[in-house]
Amino acid sequence: MESIKQHIKIPKHNLLQTFVCDGCNQYVSQTELIIPSGPREGERVIANYGCRCEDIKLAKAAEQKYSRLKRSKLMDSFNYYSLINDSLKEATLDNFELLDSNLKRAKEKVLAYIHSFDRKQNLLLKGNYGTGKSHLSISITKELMKRDYECLFLSLPKLFTKIKRTYDTKGITEDELLNVIQHVDLLVLDDIGAEQQTEWSTSKLFETLDDRSGKATIYTTNLSSDELKERVNERNFSRMMDNTNVIVINSLDYRRRNF
């Protein structure tokens, strides 16, 4: 036995202790090895057999990298396809000022929506011009993209009047856009009812929405319910109100607050 060991030069090893590793919860045998040959011959090495900490660290790093990549892909796609006014690009929940109790309540409801987001519940933000409806909707997309949900923000007046120019310059086809509209987890249709009817009619949009069955949509509008019903027609209106929470913002125009 002794002679065979010497022949194949198995490192000499002494079990130092056994314990349950705090990091990985595995049963670990801590062993001292003495390197049998080579330039490091005779050196003592401590090995923790059974410890999986290193594996777990590597798996976590890979997972984080994947999640970062996925998130930046979501953001790229969002920025590429969304139609947003420049004044709203920096809008976040953090820079939404709570200037009165109405805005405070609106933000609380928005936070609750984000918290319980289930990819199904819709939201209608209703109120005067400049009360932060678009600001809050953008903020929602930003928060949900942090949680890996795919979002799209479409300013409807922009979509209907500038679709050709905006999308043509990027080389985005109508089919491609319809496809994105259909599959995102959250679609924001901003300023519904304010759009002009052009080549891209409301009926086309609602046709597309029909294919988003059970997926979440946020609508914002300056119109009253009656006006909205008239603009989008009764059938589309009742479709919009299906499984939809309404947040009414009765506040002042943020931009004219100081006048």
Ligand X SMILES: Nc1ncnc2c1ncn2[C@@H]1O[C@H](COP(=O)(O)OP(=O)(O)O)[C@@H](O)[C@H]1O
Taking CB atoms, the residue at the shortest distance from Mg ion is: 134
Q: What angle is formed at CA 213 by the lines to CA 161 and CA 163, rounded to 5 degrees?
A: 10
Instruction: Give the C-alpha separation, 187 to 138, whole Å.
Output: 10
Site for Zn ion in 46-85 (CB under 5 A): 51, 53
Chosen from Zn ion, ligand X, Mg ion, none, partner binding at 129 (C-beta under 5 to 8 Å by type): ligand X
Binding Mg ion (rule: CB under 5 A), the pick from 82, 134, 141, 251 is 134
Taking CB atoms, the residue at the shortest distance from ligand X is: 132
Site for ligand X in 129-168 (CB under 6 A): 129-135
Q: Which is nearer to Zn ion, 23 or 42 (CB)?
A: 23
> Cα torsion at 7, 10, 14, 17 (round to 10°)?
-160
Closest distance to Zn ion from the beta carbon of 44 (Å)? 21
DSSP code, position 83: B
Q: Which is nearer to ligand X, 101 or 169 (CB)?
A: 101
Site for Zn ion in 4-33 (CB under 5 A): 21, 23-24
Chosen from Mg ion, Zn ion, ligand X, none, partner binding at 210 (C-beta under 5 to 8 Å by type): none
Instruction: Give the C-alpha separation, 31 to 71, whole Å.
Output: 43
Our finding on whether 193 is near ligand X (CB under 6 A) is no
Instruction: Give the C-alpha separation, 253 to 259, whole Å.
Output: 10
Do 250 and 128 meet the contact criterion of CB atoms below 8 Å apart? Answer: yes
Identify the three-state secondary structure at position 136: helix
The binding site for Zn ion (CB under 5 A) comprises 21, 23-24, 51, 53
